[in-house]
């Protein structure tokens, strides 16, 4: 079936399979491979996107149901190659090991800063609690968010 | 697969009346897992995401389409506490109470609250209109409810006299992203203590014998609380599965119920 979705500010019309997730559509139909595919059950957060203003797991959104919606992926946070301040902070802190979970943390974290520009440390931990880093690099990730939060204040 | 995006409740009810086999889609946090991992292939899906009629939230009526994220901020105290333990922020932004009720998993985080509040489930069909089903007639088994194939869950209806003192807790392997091993809610009102538990029976359940015991006491002493916990542990009907054992669930039920009574007395 055909859907039209505004992705990273651009209206895209394309065809999806009935059972396909938004995650799969982004990666295979549109070639937006920044959104990572890992658990496919909403446990790991590596497929996090902003869907109609909410931070959600794109593996749990039926692509057909996303018709008419607005989606921001990690690619949309760094248009023209200019990194988002969350990405800059993660680079500065060495908060990337294998990198697989990184886009999910960046999207979930950028959404936190959109909705709560000055989060406390517990609020940062809470906002990132749906994202798993298998390298267990949480210390550096949290430090990166502390930097961003301080900059924002 | 045929996909039907209902724009309002009438469209959703008409589609369900016409296609009894159609799968309803709300937040997708359960259905998409079945599709992704269990290769479930529904022939028809009716999406309720656009149905604004289901999103109303007031103390007496919680629309089926209200997300956990909204309940976390605006719900009754115990339901807000339960909502806070559902999955992760990403899951809570999508998942709805109507989906939790419709899935009727024994581990559904919103269900013990519904049992303790003595809430009812409002359902609607195109042919017969609305009916309101008491919670204990709605949940009839593991993932089984008394919803008819042409019906859609529209709301959780909350009695006016629901006690305001409410405390919820659940036990699981970790803090975030966890399906409950045992969940428990205690409410304290004019009629005394109410205790409801999840993940310890085929449906959410009230610990009525423990309630009777504690409500017959004039002072809540240490020994009364110990006896109360013992009765809760005996009264629950858990099983051993991949998440825990029957013995641990019995033990944890008593511990949680006692702790929550103490907390709600403070």
pLDDT at residue B177, as a whole number? 82
Q: DSSP state, B67?
A: B
**Considering the entire predicted model, what is its pTM?**
0.96
Q: What are phi and psi of B73, to 5 degrees?
A: -95, -30
- Cα–Cα dist B67/A52, whole Å: 14
pLDDT level of residue B22 (50, 70, 90 thresholds): very high
pLDDT level of residue B214 (50, 70, 90 thresholds): very high
Residues in contact with A41: Cβ distance below 8 Å, sequence separation at least 6, in sequence order: A59, A60, B33, B36, B37
Q: How many CA atoms lie within 13 A of B177 on its CB side?
A: 15
A60 contacts B28? CB cut-off 8 A: yes
pLDDT at residue A152, as a whole number? 55
Q: What is the pLDDT of residues A37-58, one digit of tens each?
A: 999 999 999 999 999 999 999 9
pLDDT at residue B117, as a whole number? 98
Residue identified by tokens 């015991």 is B213
Name chain B contacts of A43, Cβ cutoff 8 Å: 177
Residue of chain A nearest B178, judged by CA positions:
A43
- Our measurement of the distance from residue B209's CA atom to the centroid of its chain's CA atoms, rounded to an integer in Å, reads 21
pLDDT at residue A21, as a whole number? 98
pLDDT at residue A88, as a whole number? 96
Is A82:A113 a contact under the CB 8 Å cutoff?
no
- Cα–Cα dist B158/A16, whole Å: 40
Burial class (CB in 10 A: 0-12, 13-18, 19+), A118: exposed
* Angle of the B222-235 helix axis to the B208-215 helix axis, nearest 10: 160
Q: Which of A130, A131, A132, A136 to probe by mutation at the B interface, max B CB count within 10 Å?
A: A130
Is B165:B134 a contact under the CB 8 Å cutoff?
no
Structural domains of chain B, with CATH: 165-265 (3.30.390.50)
Burial class (CB in 10 A: 0-12, 13-18, 19+), B256: buried
Instruction: Please state the length of chain B.
Output: 266
CA angle B54, B49, A101 (to 5 degrees): 130
Is B139:B145 a contact under the CB 8 Å cutoff?
yes
pLDDT at residue A81, as a whole number? 87
Is A54:B70 a contact under the CB 8 Å cutoff?
no
pLDDT at residue B265, as a whole number? 84
To the nearest whole Å, the CA of A45 is away from the closest chain B CA by: 8
Torsion angle of C-alpha atoms B34, B143, B179, B245, degrees rounded to 10: -120
Q: Which residue from A59, A67, A127 is facing B32, i.e. has the nearest CB? A: A59
Instruction: Please state the length of chain A.
Output: 153
Is B101:B154 a contact under the CB 8 Å cutoff?
no
- Our measurement of the distance from residue B248's CA atom to the centroid of its chain's CA atoms, rounded to an integer in Å, reads 22
Q: Which residue from B35, B37, B90 is facing A45, i.e. has the nearest CB? A: B90
pLDDT at residue B227, as a whole number? 98
- CA separation (Å) from B166 to A73, B34, B111, B235, B240? 39, 33, 14, 21, 29
Q: pLDDT above 70 covers what percent of chain B?
A: 100
Q: Which segments of chain B are extended strands (E)? A: 2-5, 23-25, 44-47, 57-58, 61-63, 120-125, 129-134, 139-141, 144-145, 152-157, 165-171, 182-189, 192-198, 205-206
pLDDT at residue B266, as a whole number? 76
- For domain A79-152, the CATH architecture is Orthogonal Bundle (1.10)
Is B34:B56 a contact under the CB 8 Å cutoff?
no
- Cα–Cα dist B181/B174, whole Å: 11
- CA separation (Å) from B231 to B93, B210, B237, B258? 37, 5, 12, 11
Q: How many CB atoms lie within 10 A of CB A116?
A: 13
- Cα–Cα dist A113/B52, whole Å: 28
Tokens of B147: 């919803």
- Cα–Cα dist B108/B105, whole Å: 5
Compute the mean pLDDT over every residue in chain B, rounded to the nearest whole number. 96
- Cα–Cα dist A42/B225, whole Å: 39
Residue identified by tokens 């045992």 is B182
Q: What is A2-77's CATH topology?
A: Ubiquitin-like (UB roll) (3.10.20)
ipTM for the whole complex: 0.95
pLDDT at residue B100, as a whole number? 98
Interface contacts A/B by beta carbons within 8 Å = 91
B5 contacts A55? CB cut-off 8 A: no
To the nearest whole Å, the CA of B28 is away from the closest chain A CA by: 6
Residue spans per domain, chain A: 2-77, 79-152
Q: What is the pLDDT of residues A57-106, one digit of tens each?
A: 999 999 999 999 999 999 999 988 899 999 999 999 999 999 999 999 99
Using CB atoms and an 8 Å cut-off, which of residues 95-134 of chain A contact chain B?
108, 126-127, 129-132
Residue of chain B nearest A2, judged by CA positions:
B3
pLDDT of B90 over the 60 cut: yes
């Amino acid at each position: 079936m055909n859907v039209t979705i505004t992705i990273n500010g651009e209206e895209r019309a394309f065809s999806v399979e009935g059972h396909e997730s938004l995650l799969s559509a982004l990666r295979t139909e549109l070639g937006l491979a920044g959104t990572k595919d890992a658990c496919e059950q909403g446990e790991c957060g590596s497929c996090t996107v902003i869907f109609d203003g909410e931070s959600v797991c794109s593996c749990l959104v039926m692509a057909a149901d996303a018709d008419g919606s607005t989606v921001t992926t990690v690619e949309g946070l760094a248009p023209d190659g200019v990194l988002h301040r969350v990405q800059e902070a993660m680079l500065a802190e060495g908060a990337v090991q294998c990198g697989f979970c990184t886009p999910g943390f960046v999207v979930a974290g950028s959404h936190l800063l959109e909705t709560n520009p000055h989060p406390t440390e517990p609020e940062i931990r809470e906002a990132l609690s749906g994202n798993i880093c298998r390298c267990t690099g949480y210390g550096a990730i949290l430090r990166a968010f502390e930097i961003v939060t301080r900059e924002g204040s | 697969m045929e996909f039907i995006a209902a724009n309002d409740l009438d469209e959703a009810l008409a589609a369900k009346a016409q296609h009894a086999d159609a799968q309803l889609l709300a937040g997708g946090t359960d259905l998409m897992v079945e599709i992704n991992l269990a290769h479930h292939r529904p022939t028809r899906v009716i999406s309720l995401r656009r149905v604004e009629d289901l999103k109303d939230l007031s103390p007496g009526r919680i629309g089926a389409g209200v997300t956990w994220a909204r309940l976390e901020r605006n719900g009754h105290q115990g339901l807000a506490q339960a909502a806070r333990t559902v999955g992760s922020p990403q899951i809570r932004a999508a998942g709805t109470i109507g989906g939790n009720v419709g899935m009727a998993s024994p581990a559904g985080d919103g269900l013990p609250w519904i049992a303790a509040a003595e809430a009812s489930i409002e359902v609607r069909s195109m042919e017969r209109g609305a009916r309101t089903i008491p919670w204990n007639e709605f949940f009839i088994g593991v993932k089984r409810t008394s919803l008819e194939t042409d019906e859609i869950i529209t709301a959780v209806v909350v009695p006016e006299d629901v006690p305001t003192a409410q405390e919820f807790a659940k036990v699981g392997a970790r803090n975030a992203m966890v399906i409950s091993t045992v969940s428990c809610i205690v409410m304290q009102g004019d009629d005394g203590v109410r205790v409801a538990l999840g993940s310890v029976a085929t449906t959410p359940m009230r610990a009525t014998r423990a309630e009777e015991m504690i409500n017959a006491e004039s002072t809540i002493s240490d020994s009364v609380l110990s006896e109360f916990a013992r009765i809760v542990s005996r009264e629950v009907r858990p099983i051993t599965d991949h998440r825990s054992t029957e013995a641990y669930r019995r033990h944890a039920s008593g511990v949680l119920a006692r702790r929550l009574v103490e907390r709600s007395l403070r």
